[in-house]
Structure 1
Amino acid sequence: MASTAGKVIKCRAAVAWEAGKPLVIEEVEVAPPQHNEVRLKILFTSLCHTDVYFWEAKGQTPMFPRIFGHEAGGIVESVGEGVTDLQPGDHVLPVFTGECRECRHCKSEESNMCDLLRINTDRGAMIHDGKTRFSKNGQPIYHFLGTSTFSEYTVVHVGCVAKINPAAPLDKVCVLSCGICTGFGATVNVAKPPKGSSVAIFGLGAVGLAAAEGARVSGAARIIGVDLNPSRFEEAKKFGVNEFVNPKDYDKPVQEVIAEMTDGGVDRSVECTGSIQAMISAFECVHDGWGVAVLVGVPNKDDAFKTHPMNFLNERTLKGTFYGNYKPRTDLPGVVEMYMNKELEVEKFITHSVSFSEINKAFEYMLEGKSIRCIIRMEE
């Protein structure tokens, strides 16, 4: 791989030329990494709902042409100036948020919200010089979340790259770089359910199922899945969910239903939908005195959270979390080891697999609600 170091690489990438239109496999040029950047050869990537949301360009500034993708596994092809802790051949997971290791957040044991490399959906270029590393016929192509993994090669800031065990199968652990860690960490790092406790999970998509998996691994006795789509209930059993509530089946607020089921409320709840009503329900359904609710879903920008202050005075706790409170470079290698030690199951999240040339099928599976995670194989 070293023969390509310092040179422009021509490779295939799935380019989104305009909102909501099928991606087009194009030959693009990928520039060498600059200061504090690495160029990665992507071997496996998967589709996350965030990619679909920004591809549809709903509710934010459209930026096209763009290369999407942010859940992936690959190998370091070359490193830019100033990069010391990665070298060509390292197995890595690129991550949509980063860890510069120098800001107050990175130096705090309590935070993973790096000042420099925190998620920025509006940034379409590299931090170092404000330029893109992708182009076609001289036309720049925008980056997405600093990762752009729907390309055989991509350039990423070193702070957004986690070096992992080379024995870990990249076609499995690639899904840890976004959704799975977000949900799993929300439970094990933030909600921290005691063994034998009760946990309500609001939303049984990929992130909610990962939150349920976190409750299962933590030894929760009752894991209650809350979702408006009953077809998700059967699949959720594989992730430890053992009771189900569909709010549409009741003529009273779901938090009252859960309180009745659990003698006053659950010990912990994790909200993974982004619905403001689900957030309020998740908070109000935890038991007074010790209940903890954790918000994971991203609300609409104009939403407001409303609850009575007595809910707090009665010793309920409301917490928010970002990426499961994991620091990407520091913590992600350990999550991969949990998988390697069979403490965390990843395969059950992977429902489909397609070749890179069939990437639009992955979008179809997600839009039709058929897939939890679809792996895209870069090498046909």
Structure 2
Amino acid sequence: MAEKKNNNILRNFNPSETRGKIITCKAAVVYGPEEAFKIEEVEVHPPQKMEVRIKILFTSICHSDVDAWKAQPESRRAFYPRIFGHEASGIVESVGEGVNDVREGDYVVPIFQAECGECKLCTCEKTNTCESVSYTNTVMLSDGKSRFYTTDAKPIFHFLNTSTFSEYTVVHSACVVKLPSVADDTRILKRLTLLSCGVTTGVGAAWNVANVHSGSTVAIFGLGSVGLAVAEGARARGASKIIGIDINPHKFIKAQAMGVTEFINPKDEEKPVYEKIREMSEGGVHYSFECSGNSDVLRDAFLSSHEGWGLTVIVGIHLTPKTLPIHPMELFYGRRIVGSMFGGFKGKSQLPHFAQQCLQGVVKLDDFITHELPFHDINEAFQLLIAGKSLRCILHL
């Protein structure tokens, strides 16, 4: 028998009772860098103009959450207490003035990479960034105030436009994507949680940024969720050879099931990794993807691509002040390098179609979900990711 839809999960959900009111609910609050998450009561204020309040049903943990929790970079250390989280799915509880593309009861995913649809960046086909709602300044909402408060009225900082480690959250409408109607099935909604960041970032890097072509060769540095999503994207595009590079040998079995055809553990190699890849790919790969956020790895990724046409895509987040480890003259040999954010997807306008492709099996979302836990076990879920034992742990709220 098919799994029941969300009727049981939403048995206490009645927007008419909460619309326009402060909601008291559970959230995972952190009071300092690397401190344990505390599940406690918080107050979530109503959405203001162009905002949406969402009842979160599922959320998951990304390495960007871990980096921010560790207060990297240093400038983030002041923003506590805080509610992290940016991968989730849920249902719209209420909307603020001016919001007309989603309404109460719609199933949605929040996204950190906004698309207002009106600024000069959103109306340009060459970029998926938005100048109206940036992800770089997201500790409060657009009016400079929080929508989260402790029960003694102290403000709680937001995170990456989303703050999904809470039973309810408030986000700008530019950061809300309406899902297909079939998302009212619990199994489907749980999978689509992954589109908020990791899978979209990796698959999009292969499809939108690199435009991997059939028969091409690919090297992926770092086989976490994003790296494996790159592999999924390259596999779906018909890449002939997908080389995975990681220092954790336990990742190789999972990677093989997700499209990786060759493996390299840098710890086992006597020569530079880029030389090994050149030997394996007749002089270098067509596309290399740096998914680890390590500048030394970035250099290997760049030099592993083929002279004349090789393209390196930076997918990992580089938080240190180090600059690119590349001499300008090395670019004269025809290799190129480009950054990728959110896989080049324009969230509100392009993610619904991508969701349909995932549901049709073009991308196998189930393979990314390695663990599921109740929300109150969030500290355990964090440690699983830090220890390299999980790809994505889905938390049930």
- Which TM-score tier does this pair reach, normalised by the shorter chain? over 0.9
Q: Structure 1: how far apart are the matches of 2:65 and 2:355? A: 23
Partner residue of 1:49? 63
Partner residue of 1:160? 175
**Aligned residue identity for 2:181:** P
**Aligned residue identity for 1:377:** H
Q: Structure 2: how far apart are the matches of 1:19 and 1:259? A: 41
Quick one: structure 1 residues 20 and 307, their matched pair in 2 at CA, closer, same or farther if it must change by over 3 Å? Answer: closer
Residue in structure 1 matching 2:250, options 216, 231, 236: 231
Contact 1:8–1:29 (CA under 8 A) maintained in structure 2:
yes
- Deviation track 1:261-286 (CA, whole Å, cap 9, x = no partner) reads 11111111111011111111111111
Q: Structure 2: how far apart are the matches of 1:218 and 1:307? A: 29
Q: Structure 2: how far apart are the matches of 1:313 and 1:19? A: 43
1:7 deviation in Å? 0.8
Q: Structure 2: how far apart are the matches of 1:333 and 1:205? A: 24
Answer yes or no: is 1:36 the counterpart of 2:55: no
Gaps of 5+ in 1: none
Q: Structure 1: how far apart are the matches of 2:138 and 2:362? A: 36
- Identity, in percent, stands at 49
1:5 deviation in Å? 0.8
Q: Please identify, of 212-221 and 2-11, the stretch whose mean Cα deviation from structure 2 is larger.
A: 2-11
Contact 1:135–1:141 (CA under 8 A) maintained in structure 2:
yes
Q: What does 1:182-221 correspond to in 2, within 5 Å?
A: 182-221=201-240
Contact 2:296–2:325 (CA under 8 A) maintained in structure 1:
no
**Aligned residue identity for 1:289:** G
Contact 2:298–2:325 (CA under 8 A) maintained in structure 1:
no
Q: Please identify, of 33-42 and 239-248, the stretch whose mean Cα deviation from structure 2 is larger.
A: 239-248
In structure 2, the residue corresponding to 1:81 is in which secondary structure? coil
- Deviation track 1:215-257 (CA, whole Å, cap 9, x = no partner) reads 1001001000011222211111111001011222223221111
Answer yes or no: is 1:150 the counterpart of 2:162: no
- Deviation track 1:40-96 (CA, whole Å, cap 9, x = no partner) reads 000000011111111122333221111111100001000000111110011100011
Residue in structure 2 matching 1:257, options 246, 261, 276: 276
**Aligned residue identity for 2:357:** M
Contact 1:40–1:154 (CA under 8 A) maintained in structure 2:
yes
**Aligned residue identity for 1:283:** F
**Aligned residue identity for 2:61:** L
Partner residue of 2:377? 358
Q: Structure 2: how far apart are the matches of 1:12 and 1:231? A: 36
Contact 1:187–1:215 (CA under 8 A) maintained in structure 2:
yes
Q: Structure 2: how far apart are the matches of 1:172 and 1:50? A: 19
Partner residue of 2:367? 348
Answer yes or no: is 1:80 the counterpart of 2:96: yes
Residue in structure 1 matching 2:190, options 171, 195, 217: 171
Q: What does 1:227-376 correspond to in 2, within 5 Å?
A: 227-376=246-395
Q: Structure 2: how far apart are the matches of 1:239 and 1:79? A: 39
Contact 1:293–1:317 (CA under 8 A) maintained in structure 2:
yes
Contact 1:288–1:311 (CA under 8 A) maintained in structure 2:
no
Partner residue of 1:95? 111
Partner residue of 2:129? 113
1:306 deviation in Å? 3.0
1:310 deviation in Å? 4.5
TM-score normalised to the size of structure 2?
Answer: 0.92
In structure 2, the residue corresponding to 1:104 is in which secondary structure? coil
Q: Please identify, of 1-10 and 214-223, the stretch whose mean Cα deviation from structure 2 is larger.
A: 1-10
**Aligned residue identity for 2:305:** V
In structure 1, the residue corresponding to 2:223 is in which secondary structure? coil
